[in-house]
Structure 1
């Protein structure tokens, strides 16, 4: 739940930032000075990029959660016994220990979204967030093509 609160706070702060920068951009765009107008254009473009990036990340989170729920409903989430910190994060040593099994499963079944999602969880447990996100993105793409209809 705290992650959702964090996301809501970040989204609200981005919205406030966009409003404040938008006001400055309007002033610069209407100033008539060439450099000020150019700065105003940049102030319009950068918040648009930030909003797009935030939207993309929010959509990734929603889809990752949907795929995770589907895998959980199927009983396919990893059942490995691993030690966790008080925060709930897996101890890196335990994550590293179970990682090879999930990597081998994803390599053996490259079209199985379930294997890729489990690999993403294993990457995350091993502390490799970039590869975890890549694996989960692959799982989302494969799961979407696996949908009936």
Structure 2
């Protein structure tokens, strides 16, 4: 489906560029750039997802995943807000004791997510990925 979209956009963009009028030329160039931006976004998203999955697998194998099974949940199945905040405070203390460890960053990112702070969850998970990658390259 995406290939069809890229081909259609590419053809329209080339038609606009060949038209020769300045406005069409600008729109044509913009249309050629859109698929490139789209590919970059898809690539970045997949790369991040695979990195997060690798960390989750390692944490699971090491027994370091957060245990949320006993926490109260709302009717939608989400962890109760107060319980998520309490979990976050516990994990935050672990992270503050060892902020350069990818495992504590991973756990903090998960706790941020459970507490509803998606922005900090993404930032902290990004840091966990960087730290884990550095650990792997050091060997």
State the TM-score, normalized to the length of structure 2.
0.87
What does residue 142 of structure 1 align with? 131
Structure 1 distance, partners of 2:6, 2:80, is: 39
Unaligned runs of 5+ in 2: none
Structure 1 distance, partners of 2:124, 2:55, is: 12
What does residue 36 of structure 1 align with? 24
The alignment yields a C-alpha RMSD, in angstroms, of 1.9
Name the larger-Rg structure: 2
What does residue 86 of structure 2 align with? 97
Structure 1 distance, partners of 2:38, 2:55, is: 26
Q: Identify if the C-alpha distance between structure 1 residues 70 and 96 changes in structure 2 by more than 3 Å, giving closer, same or farther.
A: same
Structure 1 distance, partners of 2:83, 2:11, is: 51
Q: Which runs of 4+ in 1 moved over 3 A?
A: 14-17, 84-89
Count of aligned pairs between the two proteins: 137
Structure 2 distance, partners of 1:15, 1:87, is: 37
Structure 1 distance, partners of 2:74, 2:49, is: 23
